[in-house]
Chain A
Amino acid sequence: MSFLKIKNLSVDYKMRRETINAAKNVNIDVNKGEILGLVGESGSGKSTVGNAIINLIDEPGRVSKGSIVLDGIDIHADPQNIVKYRGKKIGLIFQDPQTSLNPILTIGEQLIETIQTHLNLNVDDAKNKAINLLKEVGIKDAETRFDNYPHQFSGGMRQRVVISLALCCEPELLIADEPTTALDVSIQSQILDLIKKLTKERNLAVILITHDMGVIAETADRVAVMKNGDLVEIGPTKELLTKPKEIYTKSLVSSVPPTNKKISRFKIIEKENKKQSDTNIKILNRWVKKEISDKDLVQVESLSKTFDDSFFIESSKNSVMAVNDVSFSIKEGQSFGLVGESGSGKSTIAKMIVNLFKPSSGDIYFNDVCVTKIKSNKEMLKFRKQIQMIFQDPYSSLNGRLKVKDIVSEPIKLHNPSVSSKDLDDYIYDLLESVELTQQSAERYPHEFSGGQRQRISIARALATQPRLLVCDEPTSALDVSIQAQILNLLKDLQEQLNLTILFISHDLPVVRQMCDRIAVLKNGKLCEISNTEDLFIKPKHDYTKELLKLMPKIESIYK
């Protein structure tokens, strides 16, 4: 008899136009002492299942069918059950440690409050228990940190506090909803190790909800794969990842960028027999192709950027050194990766190269012209034409008030004001087809498209000026893996056929490995190491690179 038994669970959201079945007949069992990974892409219903267990489904959603039996008791049979169980028998860890703690209470107050709500303890006992918990989750100087406020902790430490809150009433079931998505790789592995350790020590049943196959491969004992509210496949992790039965699981596994080798293209497995055509890059005949040469297209020389917070007086106390003396160069036709964790200054460098920020010191040369010294607007416009950028967030990078046609045509009209309306339309259609969108999309508004399609529109807009350098700032980190694979394929095809030079910025090492020829590793604004991709992954020189490589979640770890 398994500890948690979800039987035929269906959750419906009754919307204005239709009823959305967020979960359809889901059957999942979880035993004590095991971690069940629940994977799926956004909208697959994985969080809905998690929320259904603790009865936290927002209006207008409701559990329409099925039962959830915890330790032999149906928790939905009596509304009182869930109130008793939530927090006590079931602990919760949320994605964002910034918002799951109350910023105006010390962590001690929050822990004591939770403990006293569920356990019959006086303040001193509760405090002792809380301090022990903090020690257990690995917070040093727990006695003094006890009286600190959440903002005095770093992101990873805060997530540890959240875990201690979830554990403080001795729960037997722990639900972790994307617990490491908001964290950097090095902290992610610490948190996952902590969850693994606690599972064994306390004999917990854990449901780990995530979209990251690497995390699943390294932590989960069993995996359940969900898609559009359906449970596609469930089974032991190793078996499911190495020998997936369902087509969807196969395509999901094949979309994950491998960490141990470079592949030329991602395999996209479609359920429908859609023809897997080589991308038809229609803008090719309009393109003035630059020959791949051995010349440096971009040279960055001892670049620094300081952000000054003070308004009235210049003081070094308030200033933050975001980029510190960074130099590198990119050859024409190369794809160059910038890797680092959050706060490493990689986006700041990108913004200085596309001239959104002025550097505090240092020079950027593009095609032997010093970018930072361009004064006249005409020169600037010429420079702008040659460098374009793709942004991380596909939702904020397109103006929602403009049609796709207007978004894509803006750069064309700006750099070629005399273009006739027929040529313009042809060009727009060619651009859209090059990024695998239909001609009909031109007349629609951005909100009618999904995240991946929006990113394609972004790429079409960036290509419209026929740039030589394309700066991609985390272009796929907001997308699901299967969509990520498609976008990365598209970028590879475009680069190959148009001889584009790409500056690819990411925190995701496997992705960078697939995309780049050379990689620079950044930490706290300083350059750690630059080398060719294969050298970097096989024999890293810098300690920080070694650590990053060791800590990144590897889907291949399942074969060990």
Chain B
Amino acid sequence: MASQRLTLLSRIKDSDIYFSFIKSPTAIVSSVILVIIFFCSFFVEFVAPFNPFDPSSLSLMEAFTPPSWSEKGMTKYILGTDGQGRDMLSTILYGSRISLIVGFSAILFSLLLGVTLGLTAGYFGGKYEMIVMRLTDVQLTVPSILMALLVDGIARGIISRELHDEMAIYVLIFAIGISEWPQFARVSRAATLVEKNKDYVSASTIIGVSNILIMFKHILPNIMRPVLVIGTIGLALAIIAESTLSFLGVGVPPTTPSLGTLIRIGNDFLFSGEWWITFFPAIFLVLLAFSINLLGDWMRDTLNPKLN
């Protein structure tokens, strides 16, 4: 087992992807930032200095404390506190966890939906393909934020008020996911059209392998590269979409704030001088989205054989 793991490690080290990774400072810096952010967000209970949702740790007396390096700052609140005396750093870390969960789940949902539809459309062709692809065309004419707003509005109409706050996060995942799938469908259909004309697919057909198995065992692994690339860039878009929706007040409720909610809350204080309440979540969001995008760009360049 040990030797196997060693060979796996050496295979990774030997690969072209690893080589291009260590040659690209952008990729290294952005992935280091992402690893730190992911780690802090998922182990937030152990990393964050305070638990902003524990009322006993809040003191209204210390509300609106500026960052520690300014004149009135306190060393224990590095990035200051918000209007309820919550530590900004801790709130941001808790908020980024919500943002990441929503982002990842939404992109996973749209990836599953889009790739399944795109793969089957490309493979079977005919009227089914036409219907699926026209559906993506229609959806691409609607801005994705509008689409998400529409879904959220419908959900609010259907789900009762008490349940809504509980369900908000799932509605959000569905809303963002449903607005992103056409991308995946288009890319995977295009890649499937290329792959299905290759001889290995014919060979499997001649052997007698069923359509389902050909699609998912043979074609799917071969179209994953472009799908992963747009998936990475889509992740940044999904996180931004989540923040946008939360900023507009249709996302997650303020009791479990995400980055977008924090920016919205802070926005109210911006003109009274408490800039840090909105500034730090915003910077954090920019850093997160930017790093994911840079990593996605690097992946696109590395995995795309045409650009090499």
Contact = CB atoms under 8 A, between A and B. Distances in A.
Interface of A: 16, 351, 354-356, 380-381, 384-385, 387-389, 391-393, 396-402, 410-411, 414-415, 458, 461-462, 465
14 contacts: A16-B19, A355-B206, A380-B208, A384-B206, A384-B207, A385-B208, A389-B206, A391-B202, A393-B199, A396-B199, A411-B207, A461-B203, A461-B207, A462-B203
B199 A465 contact: no
B222 A399 contact: yes
Contacts of A389: 202-203, 206
B72 interface: no
A354 B206 contact: yes
Contact of B200 (A351, A385, A398): A398
Contacts of B203: 389, 391, 397, 458, 461-462
Given A396-B200, A399-B200, A399-B222, A387 B206 contact: yes
B305 interface: no
Contacts of A410: 204, 207, 209
Nearest to A415: B208
Nearest to A412: B207
Contacts of A356: 202, 205-206
Contacts of A351: 202
Interface string B173-216: 00000000000000000000000001110111111110000000
A401 B221 contact: yes
Contacts of B200: 396-399
A414 B199 contact: no
B164 interface: no
B19 A414 contact: no
Contacts of A411: 207-208
Contacts, number: 57
B218 interface: yes
A385 B222 CA distance: 26
Contact of B222 (A397, A400, A465): A400
Contacts of B198: 396-397
Contacts of B222: 399-401
Contact of A397 (B199, B208, B209): B199
A414 B207 contact: yes
A293 to B, nearest CB: 25
Contact of A381 (B19, B199, B208, B221): B208
B199 A384 contact: no
A414 B218 CA distance: 15
Contacts of A392: 199
B119 to A, nearest CB: 15
A358 to B, nearest CB: 13
Nearest to A411: B207
Contacts of A384: 206-208
Which 4 pairs show the lowest CB-CB distances between chains A and B? A384-B208, A397-B199, A391-B199, A401-B221
Interface in B62-97: none
B199 A388 contact: no
B97 to A, nearest CB: 34
A548 to B, nearest CB: 27
A465 B204 CA distance: 12
A465 B205 CA distance: 13
A389 B19 CA distance: 39
Contacts of B218: 399, 401-402
B206 A388 contact: yes
A397 B222 CA distance: 13
Given A388-B206, A398-B200, A410-B209, 10 more contacts: A387-B206, A391-B199, A392-B199, A397-B199, A397-B203, A399-B200, A399-B221, A400-B222, A414-B207, A458-B203
Contacts of B205: 356
Nearest to A389: B206
Nearest to B203: A397
B227 to A, nearest CB: 14
Nearest to A311: B130
B223 to A, nearest CB: 10
A29 to B, nearest CB: 38
A380 B205 CA distance: 11
Contact of B207 (A393, A397, A465): A465
A398 B199 CA distance: 7
Contacts of A380: 208
A382 B203 CA distance: 16
B308 to A, nearest CB: 12
B202 A414 contact: no
A351 B205 CA distance: 11
Nearest to A384: B208
Contacts of B208: 380-381, 384-385, 411, 414-415
B245 to A, nearest CB: 38
Contacts of B199: 391-393, 396-397
Interface in B85-138: none
Nearest to A380: B208
